[in-house]
Structure 1
Amino acid sequence: MARGGARVVSGPAPDPLALRRNRPSDKAGWTLLPAEGRQGEPPEWPLTEATPREWDLWFELWGRPQAVMWEELGQHFEVALFVRSLVEAEQREAKVDVRKLVRQYLDSLGLSVQGMLRNRWKISPGVEPAPAVVVDGGPEVPAPPRKTARDRMKVVPFRGPGA
């Protein structure tokens, strides 16, 4: 087993809402994925004959927002291996190693919250209208935007000793 040193997934995942934005790791930025998911037919199955359950998962996964990036990065084999491993992990007598592998695939393919953060992917907000607030039974008024931590900060002038 490896000892010491940084690991690929060591430390907290990046936070897109963090106040401090001057970190060298933030230079890459965040990728916004379409909320409606990837459009069109899924790619051809790259492995040997697929089972009906594998076909169902394959079609479902290639409609997700993350599939846009998988296609761009050419991750057809990774997604297919994830599907095959997931089907195996669903079995009652599945080994723990297979289930661990599925968990790792979830993270690396951005299918978990941690995976989305580590890949620096965000799903764009849908086109839903802002929530409305009813004031004294009158007409609905859009809810005011929430203040961020940065908005709540106040600059206090330095007054030196004895001031």
Structure 2
Amino acid sequence: MPRGGARVVSGPAPDPNALRRNRKDDRSSWTMLPAEGRPGPPPAWPLSEPSAREQDMWSELWEKPQALMWEQLGQVLEVALFTRTLIEAEQVDAKVDVRKLARQYLDSLGLSVQGMLRNRWKIVAVAESNMRPEDEDENAFVPPRRSARDRMKVVPFRGDRG
């Protein structure tokens, strides 16, 4: 294994509020997910017979905003494995390795703050969302852009300092 160099999650996570958001490559790189979440029933459970707790967690997870992206990316199996791992990690006597794996799933599925930033996902009100059911192309939606100048207009200028 190499000792130095870049890693998949090395460096700071992307910041959706950075001042240089008007770069050409950033225009469509952030996906705005509607806060209301994914409508409809969850997909069929892909693993062996689920426990009652797994069924409840499965349904709950598929109502989250991130579920729109899991569905689009075909991550049904990953979400099921996360569900099963999370239920195991909840146990008092769970092994550290199981808890670490659950944490890794949280990040990779965008269920943690770091995971949301790394996936470049942001949860917003429906009016601000760029996810629309009729959009099939993942590049069809573009987040709203504001220039640095527009963001600075929030603070009114007061010329009289006295």
TM over 0.5: yes
Summarize the Cα distance change of 1:51–1:10 in structure 2 as closer, same or farther, 3 Å threshold.
same
Write the letter of the residue equivalent to 2:15: D
Displacement of 1:15 in angstroms is 0.5
Q: Which TM-score applies when normalising by structure 2?
A: 0.75
Where in structure 2 are there 5+ consecutive unaligned residues? 128-149, 156-162
Where in structure 1 are there 5+ consecutive unaligned residues? 128-146, 153-163
Write the letter of the residue equivalent to 1:83: T
The answer to whether the aligner puts 1:14 opposite 2:14 as a matched pair is: yes
The two structures, once aligned, show a CA RMSD in angstroms of 2.2
Return the alpha-carbon distance in structure 1 between the equivalents of residues 102 and 52 of structure 2: 19
The answer to whether the aligner puts 1:33 opposite 2:33 as a matched pair is: yes
Q: Which TM-score applies when normalising by structure 1?
A: 0.75
Aligned residues with identical type, % of pairs: 70
Runs of 4+ in structure 1 displaced over 4 angstroms? 22-25, 149-152
Summarize the Cα distance change of 1:38–1:53 in structure 2 as closer, same or farther, 3 Å threshold.
same
Q: Which has the larger radius of gyration?
A: 1
- 1:8-41 deviation per Cα after TM superposition (whole angstroms, max 9, x unaligned): 1111100011112366763652111111100000
Contact 1:54 1:87 in 2 (8 A): yes
Write the letter of the residue equivalent to 2:51: T
Higher RCO (Cα < 8 Å, 6 or more apart)? 2
Q: What secondary structure does 1:123 align onto?
A: strand
The aligned residue for residue 122 of structure 1 is: 122
- 1:62-86 deviation per Cα after TM superposition (whole angstroms, max 9, x unaligned): 0000000000000000000000000
- How do 1:12-161 residues align onto structure 2 when only pairs under 5 Å count? 12-21=12-21, 26=26, 28-125=28-125, 148=151
